[in-house]
Amino acid sequence: MYPLKFRPIFKERIWGGQTLRSTFNKDIPADVKIGESWELADVGEDKSIIVNGELAGETIASAIEKCGTAITGNESFQPPFPLLIKILDAQDVLSVQVHPDAETCKRTGKGEPKTECWYIIKAAPDAVIYKGLSDGVTKEQFAKAIEDGTCADLLKKVPVEAGQCHFLPSGTAHAIGKGLLIAEIQQPSDTTYRVFDWNRVDADGKGRQLHVEEAIESIHFDQPENELTVGVMGRLVDSDQFKVGKGDMRPGEEMLLSPGKMKVLVIINGKGNIVGEDVEDVGFVKGDTLLVPAGFEGVMSFESSCEYLTVTV
């Protein structure tokens, strides 16, 4: 086994831009608003393709089917791959939305649960996110605000800066503000219920679909404040769905990658190599996402100062 690299899946979004090219040298289409780069995905038809080594050309799903235990470390692993890793380029504000939790999906018979976190890679001056409801907001008040087009006023507006990691459990009403480059780590779900899209329309004058009834059913109106954690160093997220840690290394330093647990590395800055016995070296640069199989043992060496996230489940 060896660390796996993937071909990104680019998603055009009304709020996207070209920052993925200028910051990470992603080969995105020119003059297209690319809002999302799905770095590691196994969601419906969107399955990441491996681009290095003997498994090049395989999807993450087919690779696990062939080498499941060696990759996941779990003999009873059940697909899909348990993480979806994205990089988001928010040149404009995203819709006000919510993702359901497992209980809501079961109760309504719709969708798939999604808990997520946002690691702020870059932030424009005065950049904000909208994260959770203001204290005391009721279901009835929020429903009325949706009708009035003022529901964003009932969300907590939070200033953000590079290096922060914001945890958003399923059921949290939220929106990403403009001028943000974000690494998003989440459960493998694309279920999003929009309640307000800032009155935007596409080239044909049509607004995007809203899902008001589903959103109202999904929002946690009694959400405790301590659920919406913010991390800046060390262990950033420690949830039932995934765990995220942050590392900073200097040029010439090395880190041992021990076998036993599958991990995903998201390279925010810097470059280097991963070396293992009897396998080719695997280079990495900023913007790369690598899956380190549970059966791999090696050394991660850094050619420059490096900031990276480590994700496990």
User: Active site residue: 13, 107, 194, 235, which one?
Assistant: 194
Per domain, the residue ranges of the chain are: 4-231, 243-312
Q: Residue 199: pLDDT above 90?
A: no
Neighbours of 299 (CB within 10 A): 13
For domain 243-312, the CATH superfamily is Jelly Rolls (2.60.120.10)
Q: Is 194 annotated as catalytic?
A: yes
Q: Tens digits of per-residue pLDDT, 102-139?
A: 999 999 999 999 999 999 999 999 999 999 999 999 99
Domain 4-231 part of CATH 3.10.129.10 = no
Q: What are phi and psi of 123, to 5 degrees?
A: -140, 130
Q: Which two tokens stand for residue 301?
A: 């060496």
Q: Tens digits of per-residue pLDDT, 142-178?
A: 999 999 999 999 999 999 999 999 999 999 999 999 9
Q: 24 Cβ partners below 8 Å, 6+ apart?
A: 37, 87, 286, 287
Q: Residue 223: pLDDT above 80?
A: yes
DSSP-derived 3-state class of residue 68: helix
Length in residues, the chain:
313
Q: Residue 205: pLDDT above 90?
A: no
Residue with tokens 């599958």: 262
Q: Which two tokens stand for residue 64?
A: 């696990």
Average pLDDT, the chain: 96
Question: Comparing 4-231 with 243-312, is the CATH topology the same?
Answer: yes
pLDDT reported for residue 189:
96
pLDDT reported for residue 284:
98
Q: Tens digits of per-residue pLDDT, 231-274?
A: 999 999 999 999 999 999 999 999 999 999 999 999 999 999 99
